[in-house]
Structure 1
């Protein structure tokens, strides 16, 4: 099985990346194929609302001049998608919002391409607003008929400077538990995915 983690922070080796790596670790131990992809700081424009993806139904965004379609292909190939973001003004980063809007809508209008996949949100935060960012990402998963695993707390970690989050022992334990839960859920649901309700 394959887990894809997408880092929506422009800090490639910052707190968001540290949280995502902690989630992936138990999955690697369980034999999953994993990939961590950097989207923060990369070129990805917001949705233009042109509805061409609904018209063409080719599992792609019509605008092919940024990273969206390449990342979307990876999302479609994954069994679990973990979206990580720093908390900016109580919400996700601009790059993550563009990904959610465009990839989510392409999947939605192509007969629910994300349905049955596992989706988890992870948020790195300096002080406040993480719950709202966490909820915002989960809206994509829930309206896409994805499976959203719980953990020992909301999936957030605290730290302002690079790698500060590693000192948040509760967050580190929560991320480890989240990875284990994703592995368990993947094994439990894999034999049934062909019959997932449309």
Structure 2
């Protein structure tokens, strides 16, 4: 069992990576393997709208990092999408990634069906709900099972590490990880 975390932040190892890491801690306690992919390490071009991905299961353009990341995502049991809020919604790289992924799955139905997903946002003030909503809509529209927690999956902080001071937000990340582990294990038991 494996969960991929996709960090849409422009700051490597920043607040978004920290909160994904908190979710990972709970998954790792349950012997679920985790991998963090930071989009800052990749060039992600926007979708070309060519629909050449139909029947191929991935984007035909492989000069940037999208096809590699999407392949790993399609193989995973669970996916965490994480984004900071820079301007009231997901980051530009996350938006480009979701748009391309959305077209690939729309033209190849079922690629992400029944995968367990969760969205998290690192936010200074506003836009957290819109950001989580954008990522959740991607997952719901792709037949994924979205996991929730005791409150919204938003943690507050501006400078790197500030999120660690949001006790309620960090507790929510731990709870989210526990819920995700529980569901992944139940689905795995069903398939045996």
SS of residue in 2 equivalent to 1:6: strand
> Map of 1:114-193 to 2, 5 A cutoff?
114-192=112-190
Contact 1:41 1:95 in 2 (8 A): no
SS in 1 for 2:98: helix
Aligned position for 1:40: 40
Partner deviation per Cα, 1:23-61 (whole Å, 9 max, x = no partner): 00010110011101111363101111111112xx11111
Give unpaired runs (5+ residues) of structure 1: none
Return the alpha-carbon distance in structure 1 between the equivalents of residues 89 and 28 of structure 2.
29
Is residue 120–residue 132 contact of structure 2 (8 Å, CA) maintained in 1?
A: yes
CA-CA distance at 1:193 after TM superposition: 5.1
**d(CA) in 2 for partners of 1:42 and 1:53?**
20
Q: Distance in 2 between matches of 1:118 and 1:38?
A: 20
Which runs of structure 1 show a deviation greater than 3 angstroms over 4 or more consecutive aligned residues? 191-194
Judge conservation of contact 1:8–1:40 (CA < 8 Å) in 2. yes
Contact 2:51 2:103 in 1 (8 A): no
Residue 98 (str. 1) matches residue 96 (str. 2): yes
The separation in 1 between residues aligned to 2:169 and 2:64, in whole angstroms, is 33
Query: Any conservation in 2 of the 1:40–1:96 contact (CA below 8 Å)?
Result: no
TM-score (norm 1): 0.93
- 2: CA distance between counterparts of 1:154 and 1:42? 29
Residue deviations 1:100-128 (CA, integer Å, cap 9, x gap): 11122212221220010011111000110
Alignment RMSD: 1.2
**TM-score (normalizing by structure 2):** 0.96
**1:52 aligned residue:** 52
SS of residue in 2 equivalent to 1:123: strand
Q: Which residue of the other structure, out of 79, 83, 86, is the alignment partner of 1:88?
A: 86
Unaligned ranges ≥5, structure 2: none
How far apart are the structure 2 equivalents of 1:110 and 1:162?
A: 38
Aligned residue for 1:47, secondary structure, equals coil
**How many angstroms does 1:62 deviate by?**
1.4
The alignment covers a number of residue pairs equal to 192
